[in-house]
Structure formats: structure tokens, C-alpha cells
Amino acid sequence: MSKYLVTGVAGFIGCFVAKSLAQQGHQVVGIDNVNDYYSVALKRDRLELLEGLPGYAFHELDLADQSGIADLFQGEQFDTVINLAAQAGVRYSLENPAAYVDSNLVGFLNVLEGCRHQQVGHLVYASSSSVYGANAKMPFSVHDHVDHPLSLYAATKKSNELMAHTYSHLYQLPTTGLRFFTVYGPWGRPDMALFRFTEAMVQGRPIDVYNHGKMRRDFTYIDDIVEGVVRVAERVPQANPDWDPESSDPGSSRAPYKLYNIGNHEPVELSRFIAAIETALGIQAEQHLMPMQPGDVPATFADIDDLSRDIGFRPQTTIEDGVAEFVTWYRDYYAV
């Protein structure tokens, strides 16, 4: 069994990745700064789900704390690091850009340095579908260049991929970046559409529907994301000896570096998404149609052929099933 560091363990994805690894018998150290970007109570309740798991330990620690992160790496000697801590949210990056630099750039550099100096065997890190930015070619492929981000959040995630490649090249640190596509499910983030729509509908308020409802998202259920992350963590990337610098494929390298999309490979119209919530709640939504927000994109669609080929996994959960699971959790958690 291996020893894992999971950063962002109070977060939506981090919590359940840590839980899965611990239940498989691995040693897991989780860290999180438990910031107040959204409900601290929800984050604390997620952490309670992990308490008492054999081989699991938690440290409240900020990625931007250079000496604290260095001491952690030196003291623990991790086999694999899964970096899921980040300042999330496209829209919040318009309001508080400094938070994204501290967490997503400075924090990620500290993780890279820890992995480098302690010779970690594999760094898996969260990227995002937002890196595709102004790309219009569908489905989004890791083999396409992503040079036109539309938000600072997206720019920091693209920067993470560039920083990881540098460390893979200079220090032979195996790194794998995972571009997540709209993750949802029980215990999900309150700033995401599923949570906000459900909350508004339960409270009898209208829902704000952006781009006048002409949106499509490759919604990906949390259980599928967790299985993908865990499987990828077990597959250490190798240098691609056939990589051609003249064609410059962004998805691999002569360094031990790899990128994958993790999405459902099924873009869902916003109307179908809202209908699934209405069915699960038994409530008709009052829709407030609004223009597109700055930094947003009209559609996402993941090409997951590389993920399927390399780790033999494709997400399967339908939006109707996943939304129903979320609504069941929401009603139970908030007693409504």
C-alpha cells in the first residue's frame, strides 16, 4: 500500500478521493486551509466523513505556507501526491484575483518543490475544462492547444499545466494533469448551478439562467470523477519517445508528463438539466433569463478517448440519476 497526500481534502472532490484511498487500505494525509470562499460548516462536515478512517490523518495547512508545506513533505515522505486544493470559481476570479495567485500559483509551486526535493513518485493535479477558453472545436481534446483563456481562474489552471511540465522536464518528476468537467453530486459546492438552482427552487425563488438558457455542460458525477482520479494516480506517466517537437502535441511530452480530460462525454442542454432538478424535487422552476456572464463559455464537451484507452474507464452516470442523488442528499442534509 502507498502513502498519499491529498490536498484540498475539505473540498468536494478531495474529500471523496481521500475516502476512497483510505478505504482501499492506503495511508492518506489530507490537508486543507478550510477557507471561507463558501460554507465552512459544509467543509467541516465533509472532514467529519473522514474522521476515524484507518490510516488517515488531517492537517489544517495552507498551500501558500512555504515552510509548512516543505516540513510536511520532509516529515511524511509521500509516494504519490494528489493536488486538488485550489481557489475555485470562474466568477469569483473577477472579484478577488489575488486569491488565485496565492493558492493556484504560489501554492502549486510549493507542492512542486515538495515533490521535487522528496522525490515523490507521481504528482496528480487538478486542472479544469476552463482552460479550453475560446476554443470552439468540439469535443475539447488534450491534443488541442489552449492559448486563449477567458478568466483568471482558467489562466492559473493552464499555468499549473505549464509549471508541471517544467518540473517533469527538469527533474523527471512524473506529473498528470486532470481537466475536470463540471463536477456535481451529493456534498457538492454551493456556488455551482445544481446547488444554487435546488436551493432557490426549494425556497420558492426564481433561478438565474445565463445566456438565456443556451448553455451546454459536460456534467460529470462525483463518483465517476473519484474513480478516474484514483485510477490515474496508479498509472505513472512515462516519457513519450515519439513526441515530435515540430507537431508539438500538448497532451504528452518527452518528459514524464500527461494530460487527461475527465468528463461524461455527453454535453447536456441546460433545459434538460433544469428538468432533471424539477423532476427530482417535484417543483417547477421559475426561470429568470439573463445574458452570458464574463469569463463563461457557452458549451463544454470532453474528448475522453485517451482516458478510456490508458486506464480503461469511461464515466457512466446520467444527469437524471446524478441529480436525483444530489437532491436526496440536499433534502436530508438541510432537512427540507
Task: Count the alpha carbons within 13 Å of 60 in the hemisphere toward its beta carbon.
Answer: 7
233 neighbors 80 (Cβ within 8 angstroms): yes
Cα–Cα–Cα angle for 325, 326, 332, rounded to 5 degrees = 95
The Cα–Cα gap between 335 and 293 comes to 32
The alpha helices in the chain, defined as continuous H runs, are 12-23, 40-50, 66-76, 92-95, 97-100, 107-117, 152-171, 193-202, 222-233, 270-281, 305-311, 319-334
What is the longest distance spanned by two Cα atoms in the chain? 59
Q: DSSP string covering 144-207, please?
A: S-----SSHHHHHHHHHHHHHHHHHHHH---EEEEEE--EESTT--TTSHHHHHHHHHHTTPPE
**Bridge pairing between strands 122-128 and 27-32:** unpaired
Positive or negative torsion for Cα 109, 123, 16, 141? positive
In the numeric block, which cell numbers belong to residue 34?
478550510
Direct distance between the N- and C-terminal alpha carbons of the chain, in angstroms, rounded to an integer:
42
Q: Which residues have CB under 8 Å from 127's CB, separation 6+?
A: 157, 158, 160, 161, 177, 178, 179, 180, 259
Task: Give the residue numbers marked as catalytic.
Answer: 153
Residues facing residue 16 across a β-bridge:
none
336 neighbors 280 (Cβ within 8 angstroms): no
